Amino acid sequence: MLSAFNKVMNSSILCKLTIACFLGLFAVACSDSSKPATAPAGDSTPGTTGLATPNPAVVDPEVAVIETDYGRIKIRFYPDVAPGHVENFKKLVREKFYDGLAFHRVIPENIIQGGDPATRRGDPSQWGMGLPGQPTLQAEFNTRPFTRGTVGMARRGGDVNSATSQFFICLTEHPEWNGEYTVFGAVLQGLETVRMISNAESDPRTQRVLRKVVMKRVYLEPANN
C-alpha cells in the first residue's frame, strides 16, 4: 500500500509532506503491481460517513503476540468495530502466515508497516507490493482514532476494500487517517519495541528497511495472560 518520500525531518512542513507521501506508500504496498497509486486524501470513496460507534465494553478474549529480535509486541483487538479485520488477522495468525514475514517499511519515531508475504523473498524492490490472489477485506471504518499504539490495516490508495495482510502501527497521532483506514487493534505491550523498529536503518528514498525486521513468531494467547 505505499510511494517514495523524504526522510522525516524536524521541520513541521517537511514532516507533513513526509506523512502525506507515506499515505501514498500505503497505496502501493498492498498492490499486486508496481504502479504507484495516489494517496487517499481527496478520494471520492467513503471516508468518515457511516462510522461505527465503538463499544468499550466489548473485550476480545485473545491478544496477538509478535516476537522479533527487538522484543515482543502484544496487540489487543477491537472486534466491536472491525470484526472482519480481527477475524482475518486471527485466521492468518493461526495459519502461521505471519511467521517469517517482516516489518519492511518505517518512519523513525512515527510508524512501522509489515505483513507482506513478498518479504519472504530476498528482493527488497518487491517488499510492500503484496502477491497476486490475496483475499481482500471490506473496509470497516469506525470512530477509533489513530493515536499512539493504534494498529491499522494498509490498503491500495483509493480502493477502500483492498486490504489484505499488511498492517501498520502508529507511534504518533494521525487524525488525518481517521475514517480513511480501518483501525482493528492497539498495542497492549511493546511500544518500545515498535519505537526501536521504527528507527531501523532504512533507504531514505523508499523508507524500506535495509535489513528485514523479521516476525520470528506470531501467535494468539488469552487476553488475561
Report whether 195 contacts 109 (CB < 8 A).
yes
Give the model confidence (pLDDT) of 61-76 as tens digits. 999 999 999 999 999 9
CATH number at residue 210: 2.40.100.10
Query: What cell was used for 93?
Result: 495468525
- 166 lies in which domain range? 12-39+49-222
Number of domains composing the chain: 1
160: three-class secondary structure by DSSP: coil
Beta strands 71-77; 62-68: pairing state: antiparallel
Flag whether 145 is in a domain: yes
Flag whether 181 is in a domain: yes
Query: What cell was used for 16?
Result: 507533513
Flag whether 2 is in a domain: no
The label of the residue with cell 506508500 reads 25
Residue-level pLDDT at 56: 52
Q: Rounded to an integer, what distance in angstroms lies between the CA atom of residue 127 and that of residue 30?
A: 10
180-to-85, 118, 128, 136, 139 alpha-carbon distances in Å: 15, 25, 19, 16, 9
Flag whether 7 is in a domain: no
Give the model confidence (pLDDT) of 173-186 as tens digits. 999 999 999 999 99
Q: DSSP assignment of 103-115, as one string?
A: EEEEETTTEEEE-
The label of the residue with cell 468518515 reads 48
Q: Rounded to an integer, what distance in angstroms lies between the CA atom of residue 148 and that of residue 183?
A: 12
Give the pLDDT means over successive 10-residue stretches in the chain (225 positions): 35 43 43 29 27 57 97 97 97 98 97 97 90 95 96 90 97 95 97 98 94 97 89
197-to-90, 102, 137, 171, 224 alpha-carbon distances in Å: 23, 11, 27, 11, 26
Residue-level pLDDT at 17: 42
123's CB contacts (< 8 A; 6+ apart) are none
Report whether 26 contacts 190 (CB < 8 A).
no
Give the model confidence (pLDDT) of 188-197 as tens digits. 999 999 999 9
